[in-house]
């Protein structure tokens, strides 16, 4: 194969990877009219990825990784029947098929989804941080408004978008639906960088740039990240953290809304018995009640939405969401890739560290089966870990050659 054909294949794969990242929610491109509706995008993505794999006729996915995907598909197929033809589970199977094809493409082309993903996150963090500072200094205002998926108002500043913009307070959401989403997917990028590539500049950009999300969950996760990966330098880290907090406090004193958004969320609320930034407590209580109704197999993906709408209780975005929706069995199936990642900790502790950091994130932003990014990134994490562990794979040629 000549160099031109190799370049064409490499470029095609990279474009497919990027399209898979921005095709639908939580990316807001389709909500702003920059892309067609996400259903159109994902159908197109299925044909493009599936067509590539079938055309190349190269099926290299290791057995254990293929088994995880197959088991998840079979369980969701059973759930369609168990929950009275709940077709929401077909959506999950649809996404897993796309995920399978993209995993195969990475292996057959030696192209890396993770490099495309991380550069995209880094771009959003840098651009969003610049925009965040421009807004705070009064040099940037929204270019236009749009409707988020939950019908809240979204603001596009060009450099970034957000759904939090009020009296000088703004939080960087990149091109995701909310700031917490950028923080969540930014932590995935940080872990990916640490596990497989480790670029110090990217690590620093992500650690400090993601502060612009003002996400309390991010602040908690990054402390665990520092503890797991840099605890040998704990004194230096603690000194840096204290200096950073002082600087943040000085900056926030110039804007009471920013001060409230950062430090006000960490104050103890005597009425609720929690910190002020804990906006999940009521959700946990509501969702726990639904979980108790059907603990083993759940209430069903569509059915629980119907019940919550009828009861006027939101049951998403908390640790019991998946349990209430899919039950204990479904929760185990959803977490299979994470358990597999933890297993590799027997060869290298960094995989155990990654497991706990990501699980902490899932406590407040649970695995959402309506988003392709979750199965795509989690199964890619397992694939890369599998290829990196020659002991588990069984031969010297199994090392990760994805570039």
Walking along the chain (403 residues) 10 residues at a time, the average pLDDT comes out as: 59 93 95 96 96 90 95 96 92 96 92 94 97 91 93 95 86 95 97 95 95 90 92 73 69 61 52 47 80 93 86 78 93 94 93 96 83 95 89 45 55
Predicted TM-score (pTM) of the model is: 0.90
d(CA 10, CA 15): 9
The per-residue pLDDT for 249 is: 66
d(CA 279, CA 288): 15
d(CA 282, CA 318): 10
Sign for the CA dihedral angle at 22, 110, 123, 280 comes to positive
The secondary structure of residue 325, as a DSSP letter, is H
Q: In this structure, what is the dihedral angle of CA atoms 216, 18, 42, 387, given to the nearest 10 degrees?
A: -80
The per-residue pLDDT for 218 is: 93
The per-residue pLDDT for 116 is: 96
d(CA 183, CA 180): 5
Q: Report yes or no: 189 and 122 within 8 Å, Cβ to Cβ.
A: yes
The per-residue pLDDT for 151 is: 87
d(CA 313, CA 298): 17
| Paired tokens of 123 | 């771009």
d(CA 108, CA 352): 28
| Paired tokens of 144 | 């236009």
d(CA 126, CA 210): 9
Closest listed residue to residue 65, CA positions, set 95, 96, 41: 96
Cα–Cα distances (Å) from 284 to 141, 278, 289, 320, in that order, read 36, 11, 9, 6
d(CA 12, CA 21): 15
| Paired tokens of 272 | 């609720």
β-strands 161-162, 153-156 pairing: antiparallel
Q: Report yes or no: 112 and 403 within 8 Å, Cβ to Cβ.
A: yes
How many helices and strands in the chain, by DSSP H and E? 17, 7
Closest listed residue to residue 225, CA positions, set 201, 208, 245: 208
Query: What is the CB neighbour count within 10 angstroms for residue 282?
Result: 14
CA R_g for the chain: 21
Task: Please report where in the chains the tokens 């349990």 appear, as a residue.
Answer: 323
The per-residue pLDDT for 270 is: 41
Q: In this structure, what is the dihedral angle of CA atoms 251, 253, 259, 263, given to the nearest 10 degrees?
A: 80
State the burial class of residue 51 (Cβ atoms within 10 Å of its Cβ: 0-12, 13-18, 19+).
exposed
Sign for the CA dihedral angle at 116, 119, 124, 127 comes to negative
| Paired tokens of 401 | 């050659």
């Amino acid at each position: 194969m000549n160099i031109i054909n190799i370049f064409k294949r490499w470029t095609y794969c990279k474009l497919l990877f990027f399209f898979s990242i921005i095709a639908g929610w939580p990316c807001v491109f389709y909500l702003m009219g920059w892309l067609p509706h996400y259903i159109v995008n994902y159908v197109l993505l299925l044909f493009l990825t599936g067509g590539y794999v079938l055309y190349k006729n190269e099926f290299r996915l290791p057995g254990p990784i293929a088994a995880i995907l197959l088991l998840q598909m079979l369980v969701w197929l059973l759930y369609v029947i168990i929950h009275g033809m709940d077709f929401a589970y077909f959506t999950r199977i649809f996404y897993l098929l796309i995920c399978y094809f993209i995993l195969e493409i990475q292996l057959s082309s030696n192209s890396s989804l993770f490099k495309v993903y991380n550069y995209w996150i880094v771009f959003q963090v840098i651009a969003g941080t610049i925009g965040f500072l421009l807004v705070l200094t009064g040099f940037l205002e929204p270019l236009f408004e749009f409707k988020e998926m939950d019908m809240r108002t979204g603001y596009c500043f060009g450099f970034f978008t957000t759904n939090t913009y009020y009296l000088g307070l703004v939080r960087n959401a990149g091109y995701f639906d909310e700031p917490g989403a950028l923080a969540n997917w930014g932590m995935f990028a940080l872990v990916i960088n640490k596990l497989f590539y480790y670029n110090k500049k990217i690590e620093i950009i992500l650690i400090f740039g993601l502060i612009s999300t003002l996400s309390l969950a991010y602040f908690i996760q990054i402390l665990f990240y520092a503890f797991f990966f840099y605890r040998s330098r704990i004194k230096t880290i603690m000194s840096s953290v204290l200096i950073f907090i002082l600087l943040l406090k000085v900056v926030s004193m110039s804007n009471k809304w920013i001060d409230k958004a950062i430090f006000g969320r960490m104050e103890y609320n005597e009425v609720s018995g929690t910190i002020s930034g804990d906006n999940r407590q009521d959700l946990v209580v509501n969702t726990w009640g639904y979980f108790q109704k059907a603990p083993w197999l759940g209430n069903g993906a569509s059915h629980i939405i119907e019940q919550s709408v009828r009861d006027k209780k939101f049951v998403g975005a908390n640790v019991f969401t998946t349990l209430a929706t899919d039950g204990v069995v479904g929760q185990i199936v959803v977490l299979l890739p994470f358990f597999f990642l933890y297993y590799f900790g027997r060869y290298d502790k960094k995989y155990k560290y990654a497991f706990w950091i990501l699980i902490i994130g899932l406590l407040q932003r649970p695995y959402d089966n309506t988003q392709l990014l979750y199965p795509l990134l989690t199964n890619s994490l397992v694939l890369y870990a599998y290829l990196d562990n020659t002991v588990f794979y069984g031969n010297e040629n199994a090392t990760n050659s994805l570039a």
